[in-house]
Amino acid sequence: MADADAATLTSAPAFANDAVPALLDQARDALAALSHQAALDQPRDALSALSHQAALEPDNAPRNAPLPLEPFSSSTMPWFSGDVFDKWQHVEAQIRSDNDVLTHCRVTAVDCPAAAQKFLAIVDEGRARTGRARIGAINRAVNLAIQPMSDLKQWGVVEHWSAPLETFATGHGDCEDYAIAKFVALIAAGVAPEDVKLVIVRDKVSADGHAVTAVRVDGHWLVLDNRWLTLAEDRDLTRLAPLFVIDHTGLRTYVRSLPGTVASAS
């Protein structure tokens, strides 16, 4: 056992001397591999760091402003009471009744009221066009088909909202009657219901309540007013302060309106 140990000790330095160069070569190869991998990882690490930093820092890059959900403003809330709510509930029922008559008239002209024929002619005129041309045609046709008359003179009350066929039967109406007729005609002519609104406003110039129709085209709201034939964008009509907006989902009030405000469109 002692002789074997001596032989081992005697040969050990020679083995170590032979192994050192090989070990050094392996170490250099390993270091070169690590350096190469670090060079590959560096861009990825830098990109990861930049992404992490971007997530922490606010994005100051310019962005396009979101398109408004409602004409004049996107800040609205549901409204389920008051004079405007009650009037819209009544007119909405009348509109459903009108639609039954119009459907019948589409099938046969027999017993089709003259008012329905006039209204359908306007709808068909709009259907024959697209985009702004459709909106302009209906706006102009309704404006010319109705003669302005106050509710007090026509109905003996301060406020009376009429569905289209009642308005076209008398040939007279005030602002909300024009607006309601355009609202129904535009949807019947193919405009998406979510893109058509009735808006009750306060005219800051005359200090009167007023009603208009708004239609969304290419993300912009066009306002149809019975007082002129021009289609104007809502952002250009700073004289109009919105109070309520109505569409196929119901009535909403603008948040910036004072609580309890009742708009009297006349």
3-state secondary structure string, the chain?
Answer: CHHHHHHHHHHHHHHHHHHHHHHHHHHHHHHHHHHHHHHHHHHHHHHHHHHHHHHHCCCCCCCCCCCCCCCCCCCEEECCCHHHHHHHHHHHHHHHHHHHHHHHHHHCCCCCCHHHHHHHHHHHHHHCCCHHHHHHHHHHHHHHHCEECCHHHHHCCCCCCCCHHHHHHHCEECHHHHHHHHHHHHHHCCCCHHHEEEEEEEECCCCEEEEEEEEEECCEEEEECCCCCCCEEHHHCCCEEEEEEEECCEEEEECCCCCCCCCCEC
Q: What is the pLDDT of residues 201-240, one digit of tens each?
A: 999 999 999 999 999 999 999 999 999 999 999 999 999 9
Asked if 35 and 95 sit in the same domain, the reply is no
- 139 domain-assigned: yes
Same domain, 85 and 35: no
Assigned domain for 60 exists: no
Same domain, 16 and 117: no
- Same domain, yes or no, for 194 and 130? yes
Summarize pLDDT for 103-121 with one digit per residue, the tens. Answer: 999 999 889 999 999 999 9
Residue 160 and residue 224 in one domain: yes
Domain count, the chain: 2
Residue 5 has pLDDT above 80, yes or no: no
Q: Mean of the pLDDT values across residues 43-58?
A: 43
Average pLDDT over residues 152-181: 98
Residue 8 pLDDT: 36
| Per-residue pLDDT, 143 | 98
Same domain, 120 and 247: yes
Domain coverage including residue 32? 1-40
Q: What does the pLDDT read at residue 260? A: 47
For residue 67, being part of any structural domain is answered with no
Rounded to two decimals, the pTM is 0.73
